[in-house]
Amino acid sequence: MTALDLAGPVAVVGTGTMGQGIAQVALVAGHLVRLYDAVPGRAAQAVQTIGARLDRLVEKDRMSAADRDAARARLRPADSLDELADCGLVVEAVLERLDVKQQLLRDLEGIVADDCLLATNTSSLSVTAIGGALRNPGRFVGLHFFNPAPLLPLVEVVSGYATDVTSATRAYETARAWGKTPVACADTPGFIVNRIARPFYAEAFAVHELQAADPATIDAVLRESGGFRMGAFELTDLIGQDVNEAVTRSVWESFFQDARFTPSLTQRRLVESGRLGRKAGRGWYDYEDGAERPEPHTAERARPPAYVVAEGDLGPASELLAMVREAGIGVREEDEDHGTRLVLPGGGQLVLADGQTSVEFRDVVYFDLALDYRRATRIALSASQDTSPQTLAEATGLFQALGKDVSVIGDVPGMIVARTVARVIDLAHDAVAKGVATEEDIDTAMRLGVNYPLGPFEWSRRLGKNWVYALLDDLHMRDPSGRYAPSLALYRHAYASDKREGTA
């Protein structure tokens, strides 16, 4: 039985935003589609709504009128679950409550044929637990679409502990036949995307809670230096603070309150105050009419240094040396086995974020990681109260001479982009080691699911074997809560033989 040769129509149970989106995807792919909702009349309304969406596709020349008419003819509402008896695939997209989903599946199992594939679109519940209500959980699988389903390509195909390989394969191939990009995933809290994306939000909130920078500055650094499409504060305002916080809390609780997934107290207070983001008119930012968007902190112009002394190659920031020369600033190179830093004319040092703090050293300014130092338009610097004003001014002027805006933040280890990327990479290595998904599927999921500029393993290879481990190890020494403790998988990666990768 092939993906597009399912034994009967496709049914979607639940006609909210996700249910309608999934139904539209199956419909456009050529299936007969039936919609059911427990609320009388709602399925019929959903049919009309999907039809209107198809009309808009025709207006935008993304669908022909003939294809639209044919699709409309294949879509109909169902007044009862019994009308789904001949379906080959049923996807449930109902309320995110375990008891509700289990009861629905028990009812469906008594109606559909034995070869009907049953699927859930849950984003937060255990596929194994939902399928535990079935007499035959082997035919049950997770099909986690991302919103809006007709537009976003990623589908996480989640195998519960009892899911048959054949069922997972059918679901995977069906999603691919529908024009989606499926990734295979074991049933773990958060699956791939919602598990590995937690640090993107958590580290931004942590830097803010440490009073090191305001939301607008942190967002600007994540976008303009890290290459992320949106910053953590503006993205959670778009998602909804209640929704984002609930996912974080669910993952944290499902991992038995693992410190790596600890929710943000500040975000909890935001939810409690009703500041849920765009939908409420206010979240981290104010969205009321006439409200002004706060600007990120940007340092005033400073005179660039006449020269710098490069000790070591600066590791992941090595391209800065050529950029400094191109800006007309002299570079004197000295071989140093123990250091990768720039020494400024006043004697102060400029060092890539490494998980340590400026206050620990004499006259050190840290600079943050960038996805691409040439294309970055903003660089964050951090300094302590003991850093000399001359050193901070020389560091600021240096990056301004390279065409960058400079944001000076507080003295936090790992800064903003560096600690975020390091933690994402660590969770990715940990997920592979625990059989959650392959490196390739994780990279695909993070690029397509949350628009990361690079997949975690692409970023890991770019940064080198030891850089992430060393940064997290230093962070862990300064915050021994367990939040930054490198995983065993990352430890093995950092210290493994170089024979496989051929790198130092």
Closest C-alpha among 340, 329, 326, 431 to residue 373: 326
Q: Other C-beta atoms within 10 Å of 372: how many?
A: 12
Q: How many residues does the chain have?
A: 504
- Of the residues 156, 203, 245, 394, which is catalytic? 156
Under a CB-based contact definition with an 8 Å cutoff, are residues 340 and 364 in contact? no
Angle, CA 499 vertex, CA 497 and CA 504 arms, to 5°: 70
What pLDDT is attached to residue 504?
38
Under a CB-based contact definition with an 8 Å cutoff, are residues 437 and 186 in contact? yes
Distance CA 143, CA 13 (A): 13
* Positive or negative: CA dihedral 396, 460, 228, 417: negative
- Of the residues 194, 225, 358, 460, which is catalytic? 194
Distance CA 224, CA 74 (A): 46
Q: Tell me, yes or no, if the pTM score tops 0.75.
A: yes
Is 466 a catalytic site residue?
A: no
- Of the residues 121, 123, 358, 382, which is catalytic? 123
Is 194 a catalytic site residue?
A: yes
Residue type at 56?
R
Token code pair at residue 23: 């139904």
- On the 0-12 / 13-18 / 19+ scale of CB atoms within 10 A, 51 is middle
Distances (CA, A) of 407 to 218, 360, 415: 9, 21, 11
Closest C-alpha among 121, 125, 99 to residue 188: 125
Phi, psi of 26 (to 5 degrees): -65, -40
What pLDDT is attached to residue 501?
46
What pLDDT is attached to residue 7?
65
Is 295 a catalytic site residue?
A: no
Under a CB-based contact definition with an 8 Å cutoff, are residues 347 and 307 in contact? no
Is 429 a catalytic site residue?
A: no
DSSP 3-state of 45: helix
Residue-wise DSSP of 277-323: BGGGTBSSSB-STTPPPPPPP-PPP-PPPSEEEEES--GGGTHHHHH
pLDDT block averages, 10 residues each, the chain of length 504: 65 96 96 96 96 96 96 96 97 95 96 96 94 96 96 97 97 97 97 97 98 98 98 97 95 96 97 97 95 96 96 92 96 75 95 96 96 98 96 98 98 98 98 98 97 97 94 97 97 77 42
Residue 256 Rama label (left phi>0; alpha psi -120 to 50; beta): left
Kindly give, in sequence order, each residue whose CB lies less than 8 Å from that of residue 109, ignoring residues fewer than 6 positions away. Answer: 118, 134, 135, 136
